[in-house]
């Protein structure tokens, strides 16, 4: 009985070894076949790449086998995305004659999502206005979540056109529905829409004038923050009073980028009174960019804001004004009871060349600042931290002059 069992076990083990050996041989043969196939594909792609480059370089006529079209799409998207003007024209004319363009247009209605997207991207590189129309028709046959992907090649083609007015209704439809897409697709649309620059301003402004959907407004303002000019400032300013805090913050962001606003008082009011700290923060960033003297007192008051980020933004904005606001700073320093605000003003006096300017004004070399003012500031700096003040005077070769005349200010 034991011998029979032992014999069966041996047979089973031998069977397993045979199975493993067969699987190993099959895998080995499969890898060899895959390797050969990959080498063959690589060779085909290299040949196709050389043919395409010949067309780009000198317009050489050639014929491409239809079974290689799938490779040609990859090659154009990955290696020839840079073609412009005459090179693009040569490719377009050749592939139009060869039937490749029609193949791409048919693929826009393919069941395969990968084929649709790859074909649209290829058309965005070598296609013309006619192909743009085909992409647009394709988009409206698809689910909403594909719009963000197909919109990329659409905007690329439009960016190379002088006039896109006939596409405004389509652009508006895309942008008005963008908030329904995933965040990544929204960002794609925003990124590629910006390629259109000022050509996109008109449909964006029309949407902003006619919509009350918060997500639509936010989407449009984000695009405007990259392409807006002073001509659009009026439409942006009206959103500074919008009930939604995020929209107010985005509007401030556009003003910051433009560096202009027609009503500075409105922005100052937001910096002081808005109940959301991130809106106040954005307003202060914008004020810092404007560098307007009428904003000075507001920025000084914001040094006492209860949120650190707002106070720090005010400090950075004040640094942009330079030495011409020294008298305002010392006046505010004297009346303020907020230790943080006072420390930040001290920091401004030490910032960049400001301390050196104070020394030169004390020596009578800066007519805009009186010697008395510079001496008053020196006293405040010394009272705040005598060790740091002494070190700074040593660094600027001013220690012994001050020691001789005002020994109580230094160590």
Give 338-352 as a DSSP string: -HHHHHHHHHHHHST
pLDDT at residue 247, rounded to an integer = 92
- 1: pLDDT strictly greater than 60: no
At residue 149, the pLDDT reads 65
- Residue indicated by tokens 């002494």: 390
Rounded-to-integer distance, Cα 285 and Cα 313, Å: 7
Those residues with Cβ within 8 angstroms of residue 409's Cβ, 6 or more apart along the chain or in another chain: 378, 379, 382, 386, 389, 402
Residue 356, phi then psi, degrees to nearest 5: -65, -35
Contact 69, 100 (CB under 8 A): yes
Helix 339-350 × helix 326-335 angle, to 10°: 160
What percent of the chain shows pLDDT beyond 70?
Answer: 96
Model pLDDT, residue 5: 59
Q: Which of 221, 140, 117 is nearest to 179 (CA)?
A: 221
Minimal CA–CA distance to 91: which of 42, 119, 55, 121?
55
**Per-residue pLDDT for 335 more than 60?**
yes
Nearest residue to 207 (alpha-carbon basis) of 234, 175, 244:
175
Give the mean model confidence (pLDDT) for residues 282-306: 89
Distance, CA of 378 to CA of 3 (rounded, Å): 106
pLDDT digits (tens, 9 = 90+) for 40-64: 888 988 889 998 888 888 877 778 8
Handedness of CA 37, 39, 45, 47 (dihedral sign): negative
Percent over 90 (pLDDT), the chain? 11
Q: In the predicted model, is pLDDT for residue 197 greater than 70? A: yes
pLDDT in tens, 126-160: 888 788 777 777 766 666 566 666 677 778 778 87
* Segment 177-193 mean pLDDT: 82
For 375-405, how does the pLDDT look when each residue is reduced to its tens digit (9 = 90+)? 888 888 888 888 888 888 888 888 888 888 8
Would you say 174 and 151 are in contact if contact means Cβ atoms under 8 Å apart? yes
CA of residue 213 relative to chain centroid, distance: 24
């Amino acid at each position: 009985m034991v011998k029979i069992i032992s014999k069966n076990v041996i047979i089973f083990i031998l069977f397993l070894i045979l199975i493993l050996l067969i699987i190993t041989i099959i895998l080995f043969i499969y890898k060899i076949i895959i390797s050969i196939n990959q080498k063959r594909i690589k060779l085909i792609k290299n040949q196709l790449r050389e043919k395409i480059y010949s067309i780009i370089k000198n317009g050489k006529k050639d014929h491409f086998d239809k079974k290689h079209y799938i490779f040609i799409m990859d090659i154009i998207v990955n290696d020839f995305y840079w073609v412009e003007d005459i090179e693009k024209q040569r490719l377009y004319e050749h592939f139009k004659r060869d039937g490749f363009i029609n193949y791409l247009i048919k693929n826009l209605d393919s069941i395969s999502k990968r084929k649709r997207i790859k074909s649209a991207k290829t058309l965005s590189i070598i296609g013309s206005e006619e192909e743009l129309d085909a992409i647009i028709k394709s988009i409206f046959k698809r689910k909403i979540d594909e719009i963000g992907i197909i919109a990329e090649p659409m905007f690329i083609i439009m960016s190379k056109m002088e006039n896109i007015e006939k596409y405004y209704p389509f652009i508006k439809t895309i942008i008005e529905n963008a908030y329904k897409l995933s965040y990544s697709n929204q960002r794609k649309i925003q990124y590629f829409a910006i390629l259109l620059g000022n050509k996109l301003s008109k449909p964006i402004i029309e949407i902003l004038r006619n919509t009350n959907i918060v997500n639509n407004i936010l989407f449009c303002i984000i695009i405007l923050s990259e392409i807006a000019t002073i001509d659009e400032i009026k439409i942006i300013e009206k959103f500074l009073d919008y009930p939604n805090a995020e929209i107010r913050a985005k509007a401030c962001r556009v003003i910051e980028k433009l560096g202009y606003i027609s009503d500075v008082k409105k922005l100052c009011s937001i910096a002081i009174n808005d109940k959301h700290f991130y809106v106040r923060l954005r307003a202060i960033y914008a004020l810092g960019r404007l560098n307007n003297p009428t904003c000075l007192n507001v920025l000084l008051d914001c040094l006492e804001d209860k949120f650190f980020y707002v106070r720090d933004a005010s400090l950075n904005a004040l640094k942009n004004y330079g030495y011409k606001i020294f008298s305002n700073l010392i006046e505010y320093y004297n009346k303020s009871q907020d230790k943080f605000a006072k420390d930040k003003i001290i920091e401004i006096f030490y910032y960049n060349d400001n301390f050196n300017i104070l020394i030169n004004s004390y020596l009578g070399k800066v007519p805009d600042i009186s010697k008395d003012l510079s001496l008053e500031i020196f006293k405040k700096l010394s009272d705040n931290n005598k060790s740091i003040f002494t070190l700074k005077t040593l660094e600027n070769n001013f220690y012994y002059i001050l020691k001789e005349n005002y020994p109580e200010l230094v160590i």
